[in-house]
Structure 1
């Protein structure tokens, strides 16, 4: 009776703690989700106001109302000194959450009186679909928009940059290379046409709307596109054109001759040929009216530009190193920075591969420790909380797909089958681990295509996710080995195993020196068929009293309650397997 009351008291205490932890976890996740989805009211949104000269915050500064239209200032940088430019940084991979965050921060900026939105770009690229959405959103904004390439803006990054009214670059920066790629295989003609068509049309629209030369964007997307800078003989106006336009405008060829000159020998005309070079801007009236300035790109590679070349050909309007230079270029405008909200920062922190490795350790170690204690306790709550963060954080930032979560739960289910139905069989356990960790690895990698596989641009992030997940598994294994040998005797952790309380209830008659299987075998005191009784519930691991000593044992699969008789049925090195003594 006393032993049973001890179990009840322990279970009650651990259940209360677990309830508090789980309620706190649910409240935290709800707050994160609400904050991530909520758009801050423009009239009450906080913003950081900075002096253009010092970059220091100016308290209680009265901000003027935002402008109602997109009246662009000259690209020379001269503007209204009372204007406010809000800098919004986009960093890392481009995916749908970037659009959500951008919308929230733009609303805050406009509410703070910003008349210009400066989108600071430092990205290797990302999802084409997300970049298309962001580009359309930027073009519809009522304020003047400026893209600031501060380090790099490749692929999806330059798609976003070209959507802005103007583009500037920092020192030692680069942009370009925007061809669609697939992680799985080389794109076939139809697939390539389908992927390339919306990209080209978006660049063409951006070029038309923002007065860029389309030829340079074309060369960023398609191999074989040559780019020439030409100058009108009479007006002196300069322009970038492809090789077909060059044939007509500079070499005075007819349209038919120009197309024949740029068509590769033996090429078959196909409706699936998207992005091929054709006469794009030349007209019959311009035949022979232009002269060559220089060849910008030979078409052997996808066009990539550093800040110097971009400035020379007119893609970039200026080279700007920092916020003070930005304010000067904007004619003395006040520059403010609109940062991400705390919930966005938290979600971004939780999806970092290194943090996820720590969460994996918490899940595996917590689950093991829970198996050693009766009832749902603190370790189980920690494991559940860590698992919720592993699966929930990627969902909050629109990274995870539903099938990633399904893979994790299928893996957990297979592990349960291995532990409780077919222990020792190994196949279900191995499959479970593969399914579970595949889901966890892919959960933080932006995907594309009908089955949601990572794009080629995501290979670096995928590799990081694999490495840190493996490190998490290795660290978990080391911790589990340590706990299996010493958990019952570590100060504080020994409370999670009930042998101390049970021994006290039994009068302290047994030898309390824990003996591992290999140690027992070394002394020859444990052999097949020996009997004993359970001292801490087997779930399926735990401890039993055999021959007057506490032994680390594992059941053959079933859970065995404390004080139940058991028999040694298998001995494998330091692993002693027991079953109910019938």
Structure 2
């Protein structure tokens, strides 16, 4: 009778063989939606992990607990920590011969136990999950708490980790198998009805872009691009670089459920405040400081899963790591500005990009020409310089930046230096008054 029913069972299978994190959660979520859309009867996860972030494991657990499909987890060797929580949420657990399940205490990046509030939360998750699936709640708690006494399975004071044989005897796992084919046989599944979830090229790109090193490089591109754009007139290549780096930084984090709208908005607000500080408000004050803080916090928080600054169940150490990445990228951008700020505009690559040879003075273009001959010349501020604006020298208007921070229209100025196609000017103070 069981074999006859198995012919009608459609199975959708997904593999999770890495650390439980945003990539694992996104893969399971997409696979489950695909299983539902294809009208599968069974959702099967082949699991081999030493653990990961509790919050993402909890998301996978919730998906399995609320599933309208029959759920099976095949522990193909290891289901430690977060992997044990996911396993307990399935309707059935099958374990590979020689596999293990358990050891679910919450630890930091150095393997040290976290405070009791973390352990208490994890115990509650394990207990509630086991209870929902009719499994022994004391065994589930013993995965987290060494003080739970189960003499038949572990010494007192030690965390519980079950072998495949022990898990079957304890009623946690349904059967011990030697291969996925044997699992199909034990579960009454015909192999030809199994659809394997495939990782797409887009999934791989997203996984690559959220790597810490790549995120740091993109942050450097955002900050460096904005700086170099502010150093050149008009909208050009540097701004394009900043926008592309920003999109590549935020888009995968948003798709993974890490970056929230308010965090992206915080970065945008920070950039606006910095622009106001540079172009509108003289000097450097509260707007500039807040702008830097907002950009720093927005970028760092976008890399960390949190519930509006609630980091209770965020994997320990992740928040500090994200801030270090952002700060490191900012220092890298400052170093890049120092090393390249005076030379990049004169490089052969930049000259090709900005089409400098088409903007000739004899046809009315002046901002892209070298203006060394204007040094120490005097002129008139034709617009307010705060600090950027327009000046007039010998009847010709030029873009200029005030070194004094703020110069009113009509003030007399002199050119102190020329750098990156900008004239830097100071106000001539009338000392006769």
Is 1:135 the counterpart of 2:64 in the alignment?
yes
With normalisation by structure 1, the TM-score equals 0.54
Q: CA deviation at 1:333?
A: 2.6
Matches within 5 A, 1:495-510: 496=354, 501=359, 503=361
**CA-to-partner distance for each residue in 1:303-359, whole Å, 9 max, x for gaps?**
344667656756453365xxxx31244237345420245554444443332332232
Does structure 2 retain, via aligned residues, the 8 Å contact 1:540–1:558?
Answer: yes
Distance 1:308 1:470 in 2: 49
CA contact (8 A) 1:83 1:333 kept: no
Q: Shift of the alpha carbon at 1:129?
A: 5.1
Mapped pair 1:435 → 2:294: yes
Relative distance call for 1:373 and 1:511 in structure 2 (3 A) is closer
Contact 1:99 1:134 in 2 (8 A): no
Residue among 124, 134, 142 paired with 2:52:
124
1:12-38 Cα distance to aligned partner (Å, 9 max, x none): xxxxxxxxxxxxxxxxxxxxxxxxxxx
In structure 2, runs of 5+ residues without a counterpart are 394-399
Which position in structure 1 is the counterpart of 2:313? 455
Contiguous gaps of at least 5 residues in structure 1? 1-70, 74-78, 230-295, 516-525, 547-552
Determine the structure 2 residue equivalent to 1:354. Answer: 213
Write the distance in 1 (CA, Å) between the matches of 2:350 and 2:272.
28
Q: Call closer, same or farther: CA 1:421–1:182 in 2, change over 3 Å.
A: farther
Cα–Cα, structure 1 residues 217 and 194, in superposed 2: closer, same or farther, change >3 Å? closer
Which residue in 1 is equivalent to 2:414? 567
Of 278, 283, 301, which aligns to 1:419?
278
Which residues of 2 match residues 105-504 of structure 1 at below 5 A? 105-109=31-35, 116-121=42-47, 122=49, 123-127=51-55, 130-138=59-67, 140-141=68-69, 143=70, 145-149=72-76, 151-155=78-82, 157-169=83-95, 174-178=100-104, 186=115, 197=124, 199-206=126-133, 208=134, 212-229=135-152, 296-305=153-162, 310=167, 315-316=172-173, 317-318=175-176, 325-331=179-185, 333-334=191-192, 336-421=195-280, 425=284, 428-448=287-307, 451-453=309-311, 455=313, 457-459=315-317, 461-494=318-351, 496=354, 501=359, 503=361
Partner of 1:555: 402
> Following TM superposition, by how much is the alpha carbon of 1:162 offset from its aligned partner in structure 2, in angstroms?
1.0
Alignment partner, residue 396 of structure 2? none
Could you tell which deviates more after superposition, 496-505 or 391-400? 496-505
Q: Please give the per-residue CA displacement for 1:389-438, whole angstroms capped at 9, x wherever unaligned.
A: 43343222222234423432343234234423556537654543333122
What is the CA-CA distance between 1:298 and the residue it aligns to?
3.1
Task: Give the paired residue count.
Answer: 399
On the 8 A contact 1:445/1:458 being kept in 2, the answer is: no
User: Distance between the aligned counterparts of 1:300 and 1:114, measured in 2?
Assistant: 44
After superposition, the Cα gap between the structure-2 partners of 1:455 and 1:197, relative to the gap in structure 1 and judged at 3 Å, is: closer
> Does the CA-based 8 Å contact 1:126-1:457 persist in structure 2?
yes
Q: Which has the higher contact order (CA 8 A, sep 6+)?
A: 1
Deviation at 1:158, TM superposition (A): 2.0
Distance 1:170 1:500, change over 3 A: farther
When the two chains are superposed, the root-mean-square deviation of aligned CA atoms in Å is 4.9
Other structure's SS at 1:362 match = helix
Judge which range, 217-226 or 105-114, deviates more. 105-114
**Cα distance, 1:470–1:371 mapped onto 2, change above 3 Å:** same
Specify whether residues 326 and 478 from structure 1 end up closer, same or farther in structure 2 by C-alpha distance, changes over 3 A only: same
- Asked if the contact 2:143–2:160 (Cα under 8 Å) also holds between the matched residues in 1, the reply is yes
